Structure formats: structure tokens, C-alpha cells
Amino acid sequence: MDKSGKTKRISSQAVRTAYTVVALSHLLLVLASESADITDHLGIALPGCPDSCHGVPIPYPFGIGSSCCLSEDFEVSCNATTNETYTPYLFGTAAILNISILLGQARINYPVSSQCYNSTTKQVEYNRNYAMLYGSSFRFNDNKNKFMVIGCDTLAFANFSDGQDYNWVGCASRCSSLEGLTNGSCSGLGCCQTVIPKGTTVIGVDFDPSYNNSDDVHSFGRCGYAMLMEDDGFMFDTTYITTDDLKGQKMPLVIDWAIGNTTCDVAQNNRSSYVCISYNSVCLNSGPGYLCNCSDGYQGNPYLKDGCQGLSL
Ligand SMILES: *[C@@H]1O[C@H](CO)[C@@H](O)[C@H](O)[C@H]1NC(C)=O
Ligand SMILES: *[C@@H]1O[C@H](CO)[C@@H](O)[C@H](O)[C@H]1NC(C)=O
Ligand SMILES: *[C@@H]1O[C@H](CO)[C@@H](O)[C@H](O)[C@H]1NC(C)=O
Ligand SMILES: *[C@@H]1O[C@H](CO)[C@@H](O)[C@H](O)[C@H]1NC(C)=O
Ligand SMILES: *[C@@H]1O[C@H](CO)[C@@H](O)[C@H](O)[C@H]1NC(C)=O
Ligand SMILES: *[C@@H]1O[C@H](CO)[C@@H](O)[C@H](O)[C@H]1NC(C)=O
Ligand SMILES: *[C@@H]1O[C@H](CO)[C@@H](O)[C@H](O)[C@H]1NC(C)=O
Ligand SMILES: *[C@@H]1O[C@H](CO)[C@@H](O)[C@H](O)[C@H]1NC(C)=O
Ligand SMILES: *[C@@H]1O[C@H](CO)[C@@H](O)[C@H](O)[C@H]1NC(C)=O
Ligand SMILES: *[C@@H]1O[C@H](CO)[C@@H](O)[C@H](O)[C@H]1NC(C)=O
């Protein structure tokens, strides 16, 4: 990964292949959102730093601007970059929905990949996303996210890597008419989902070009979609098949974060780089890397001096 490439994006608007590269920097956005963390009303940011962006709490080690965060990975920007704006961004462009200090997780918006058959040109327009977190403090959460494929003539693959090996999983959906399609969970016609492996830091979406809505299917739906997204709360809607509505959309994705790439034991040996600096804090291995937590009976932000406060009963 290019460490200096804060916003690296290659996008080709070619009709046949619109192709987006999402480096540790380029994920995208949509809505601002509710968020709640028990650290909300305690000091959660570095002294002198803003602790929220348009209602979304930004707890340290995350911070708005380079002097308010632990490292470049955790830098959040809070300014208008597009029309959808005034939400906090990570990597320059991934809208942050919420950040959890306790879980070492963040929810961001991540773009849907699509393939749409154009019956006039008889060509397929692709938009395939690729995301690279390798070498950063982040990885895709394998428990809360699923690789989803939506369509009636769609076979898509998530290709991924842990930085070394290259692997993939796929999911397919075929429906020859709208009959039998129902709104609800992703479990049946029109929607297929599968899990991704633990430790995934690079993920790309590929479509099998021979499943492309070019037969009768395009009379009721011309697009197929694929994306890694948070499973919880997802509801399949038949309009995803019958309209182009999902095209260009973003969906919530959970990413895990951790500090550094060593265990607590090793990290604690270097007091100047160890970040669980609050009194009454503990270190938790979250391999690779570690997280901090407040000791039993305390709550707050263990990454800040005096961040963990006794619970007043
Ligand atoms: C957004 O704000 C950050 C500081 O928070 C700044 O570094 C960056 O250049 C700004 N981006 C734009 C597009 O204005
Ligand atoms: C910006 O968003 C507003 C409301 O969401 C919409 O009415 C407007 O057309 C958008 N402007 C552009 C340039 O997309
Ligand atoms: C973000 O907020 C949602 C809803 O408020 C909650 O279900 C989820 O657990 C939170 N996720 C994180 C990472 O904080
Ligand atoms: C199909 O392609 C033609 C020619 O590029 C374009 O004008 C038309 O808008 C496309 N149809 C759809 C539904 O995107
Ligand atoms: C599913 O819900 C949408 C509205 O979101 C509605 O237009 C559609 O008719 C529903 N489909 C079925 C099969 O009930
Ligand atoms: C993985 O997906 C990306 C995005 O579509 C693509 O550029 C890349 O070639 C794929 N890799 C393999 C090995 O299929
Ligand atoms: C679409 O799929 C059909 C059937 O597999 C295949 O014959 C055709 O070449 C494909 N079209 C495009 C544009 O990929
Ligand atoms: C661990 O992190 C250090 C400093 O960020 C980096 O130089 C090193 O390559 C990393 N080691 C591994 C195995 O990722
Ligand atoms: C301890 O951490 C500091 C700050 O990151 C670093 O400059 C120093 O080299 C580290 N010392 C050792 C012994 O690793
Ligand atoms: C962190 O501390 C809180 C409060 O003591 C506790 O409820 C929670 O289970 C701890 N989290 C982990 C991962 O140990």
C-alpha cells in the first residue's frame, strides 16, 4: 500500500467498465447518523480537540485533523467535500457512521458494486470496487459483515487477501421471473450471502460476465449487485431487482481497528509508544495489535490520561 497516497483513486468512466480502486483512503459515503457510545459525555477527545463532527462522537485515538489523532490512520476530516457532506470522513472519503472504543470497531459507508445490462447497446456496464486496508490499523470485520449478491442473473466473487495469499468466495442468484421474490431478509430468490474469512484486509468484487441479465431477465431487472456490508438490519427489497436504485449507493460496513501490530506484552515494554495511558486501564490483545479498555468499575476513554473514570452509583 502506498502510505502517502491519502486519496488514491483510479476510476475509468468507460461504458463497459467503470472501475473504482479503493485504497486505504477511498471508500465512500452516504448518510450521517445516530451514534451512541458510553463514552459520549466524558472527555473523549484530546484536550483542545473537537470531540464530535456533526453529531458523530469522535473519540481518541481518532481525531479531527492531524494533531488530534494518534496517527494518520485515525485522522478524521470534518468538512464539506461533496453534496452528501457534513459527515466525518476517514481516509479522506469514507463517511463514518460511528466509532466504538469498547469494541475497537467503526462503521463506515462503503460503495455497492454493480453490473447493469444495457439492452440498447447490448453491453454490460460494470462498477467494481476494491478496498485495501493491508498495512493499516484496520481490517474488515468477518463477524458482522457478509458478502451479499443481489440480482436475478448474477454470479459475483469477493476476492481477498490477508496480504499474502489470494483467495475468493462467490455467491450466485438466478430468478427467471419476479414470481416468488419477497421483501425481507436475504435468504431466497434474488439475494445470496456468504461469509468472509477472518483477517481480511484486501477485498475486491468481480462479476462472472456470462451472468449478465442479457436474456429475458432484463425485461424486469437489468442490474446485479455485490458488496461486503453489515448483515444486521439489512432487508432485501424487490425494488433492488426492478430498479437501478442500488447503483452507486453505499451501505454500512464494519471495520475493526487496533493499535500497532504487537501484543500487549511487547507494547507495554515501550512506555513512550504504549497508548493505554489512562489510570485504571487495561490492555487487550486484538491480534495483530491491541486495544485498551477501562478496568472493571471504570468507564471512559482509556487512551486519554485520566480517561477512565469511576462509575458513580
Ligand atoms: C478537510 O479538512 C482537513 C482538516 O480537518 C484538511 O486537511 C483537508 O484538506 C480538508 N479537505 C478539503 C477537501 O477541504
Ligand atoms: C444536493 O442535495 C440536495 C438535497 O439533498 C439536493 O436537493 C440537491 O439537488 C443536491 N445538489 C447537487 C448539486 O447534487
Ligand atoms: C453504531 O450504532 C449502531 C446503532 O446505533 C449500533 O447498533 C452499533 O453497534 C454501533 N456500532 C459501533 C461500531 O459502534
Ligand atoms: C444505454 O446506452 C446508451 C448509449 O450509451 C445510453 O444512451 C443509455 O442511457 C443507456 N441506457 C441505460 C438504461 O443506461
Ligand atoms: C417490497 O417493498 C417495496 C417498497 O419498498 C414495494 O414497492 C414492493 O411492492 C414490495 N414487494 C413485494 C413483493 O411485496
Ligand atoms: C479482484 O477484484 C478487483 C476488483 O474488481 C480486480 O481488479 C482484481 O483483478 C481481482 N483479482 C483477481 C485475482 O481476480
Ligand atoms: C452476457 O452473457 C451471455 C450469456 O452467458 C453471453 O453470451 C454474452 O456474451 C454476455 N454479454 C456480455 C456483454 O458480456
Ligand atoms: C509492524 O508495525 C511496524 C511499525 O508500524 C512496521 O514497520 C512493521 O512492518 C509491522 N510489522 C508487521 C509484521 O506488519
Ligand atoms: C519506543 O517508541 C518510540 C516512539 O514510537 C520509538 O521512537 C522508539 O524507537 C521505541 N523504542 C524501542 C526500544 O522500540
Ligand atoms: C471493557 O470494560 C468494560 C467495563 O469494565 C466491560 O464491560 C467490557 O466487557 C470490557 N471489554 C472487554 C473486551 O474486555
Q: Give the lowest-confidence range in 40-54, 119-133, 163-177, 191-205.
A: 40-54
Which of the ligands is closest to the CA of residue 289? 8
Candidate from 75-89, 111-125, 188-202, 223-237 with smallest mean pLDDT: 75-89
Q: Give the pLDDT confidence score for residue 149 in this predicted structure.
A: 97
Q: In the structure, what pLDDT confidence band is assigned to residue 12 with cuts at 50, 70 and 90? A: very low
Q: Determine which residue's CA is closest to atom 5 belonging to ligand 7.
A: 210
Amino acid in the structure at residue 235 = M
Residue 27 has pLDDT above 50, yes or no: no
Three-class secondary structure of residue 35 per DSSP: coil
Task: Check residues 93 and 132 and name the one with the higher pLDDT.
Answer: 132
Q: Residue 26 — pLDDT band, cuts 50, 70, 90? A: very low
141 in contact with ligand 3, CB cutoff 6 A = no
pLDDT at 90 (0 to 100): 67
Q: What does the H/E/C string look like for 96-145?
A: EEEEECCCCEEEEEEECEEEEEECCCCEEEEEEEEEECCCCCEEECCCCE
Residues within 6 Å of ligand 1 by CB: 64-65, 77-79, 81
The predicted pLDDT at position 261 comes to: 93
pLDDT at 24: 29
3-state secondary structure of 268: helix
Q: What are the tens digits of pLDDT across the range 71-123?
A: 999 998 887 555 554 467 666 667 888 999 999 999 999 999 999 999 999 99
Q: Whose CA is nearest to atom 10 of ligand 10?
A: 293
Residue 24 neighbours by CB under 8 Å, 6+ apart: 1, 73, 91, 132, 133, 134, 135, 136, 138
> Residue 143: nearest ligand to its CA?
3
Please write the tens of the pLDDT for every residue from 39-84: 344 579 999 999 998 888 999 999 998 999 999 999 988 875 555 5
Q: Which ligand 5 atom minimizes the distance to the CA of 178?
A: 13
pLDDT value of position 35: 34
End-to-end CA distance of the chain: 48
User: pLDDT-based confidence at 135, cuts 50/70/90?
Assistant: confident
Pocket (CB within 6 angstroms of ligand 4): 15, 118, 120-121
How far apart CA 255 and CA 234 sit, in angstroms, is 17
Q: What is the pTM of this model?
A: 0.83
Question: Contact at 8 Å (CB) between 58 and 52?
Answer: yes
Ligand number nearest to the C-alpha of 86: 1
Look at ligand 7, atom 8, and give the residue with the nearest C-alpha: 210
- Please name the residue whose Cα sits nearest to atom 2 of ligand 1: 77
For ligand 9, atom 6, the nearest C-alpha belongs to 273
Q: What is the pLDDT of residue 49?
A: 94
Which amino acid residue places its CA nearest to atom 1 of ligand 6? Answer: 204
How far is Cα 63 from Cα 153, in angstroms, rounded to an integer? Answer: 44
Q: What share of the chain is helix, strand, coil (3-state, %, to 5)?
A: 5, 40, 55
Decide if 253 contacts 228 (C-beta within 8 A).
yes
| pLDDT of 32 over the 70 cut | no
- Pocket lining: 313 vs ligand 3, CB cutoff 6 Å: no
Query: What rounded mean pLDDT belongs to the chain?
Result: 83
d(CA 172, CA 157): 9
Alpha carbons 256 and 181: distance in angstroms, whole number: 34
- Is 242's C-beta closer than 6 angstroms to any atom of ligand 6? no
Note the ligand closest to the C-alpha atom of 299. Answer: 10
Least confident residue range of 23-32, 165-174, 270-279:
23-32
H/E stretch holding 50 reads none
Q: 229 falls in which pLDDT band (50, 70, 90)? A: very high
Pocket mutation for ligand 10, best pick of 100, 293, 299 (most atoms within 8 Å of C-beta): 293
| Interval 277-297: pLDDT, tens | 999 999 999 979 999 999 999
Mean pLDDT score, 222-250? 95
Q: Which of 46, 213, 73 is nearest to 139 (CA)?
A: 73
Ligand whose nearest atom lies closest to the CA of 70: 9
Residue spans of the domains in the chain: they are 52-104+258-309, 107-257
Within 6 A (CB) of ligand 10 lie: 102, 284, 293-294, 296
Residue 191's closest CA among 228, 145, 142, 225? 225
145 lines ligand 3 (CB under 6 A): no
Using an 8 Å Cβ cutoff, are 180 and 244 in contact?
Answer: no
Distance CA 282, CA 39 (A): 16
The SS3 call for residue 136 is: coil
pLDDT band (50, 70, 90) for residue 37: very low
HEC per residue, 202-264? EEEEEECCCCCCCCHHHHCCCEEEEEEEECCCCCECCHHHHCCCCCCCEEEEEEEECECCCCH
How far is C-alpha 216 from the geometric centre of its chain's CA atoms? Answer: 35
Among 17, 19, 127, 130, residue to substitute to test ligand 6 (most atoms within 8 Å of Cβ): 130
| Residue ranges in the chain assigned as alpha helix (H) | 239-242, 264-268
Q: Answer yes or no: are the C-beta atoms of 96 and 106 closer than 8 Å.
A: yes
Please tell me if the CB atom of residue 242 comes closer than 6 angstroms to any atom of ligand 5: no
Pick from 118, 207, 113, 112: which is nearest to 155 by CA?
Answer: 207
The stretch 212-239 carries a mean pLDDT of 95
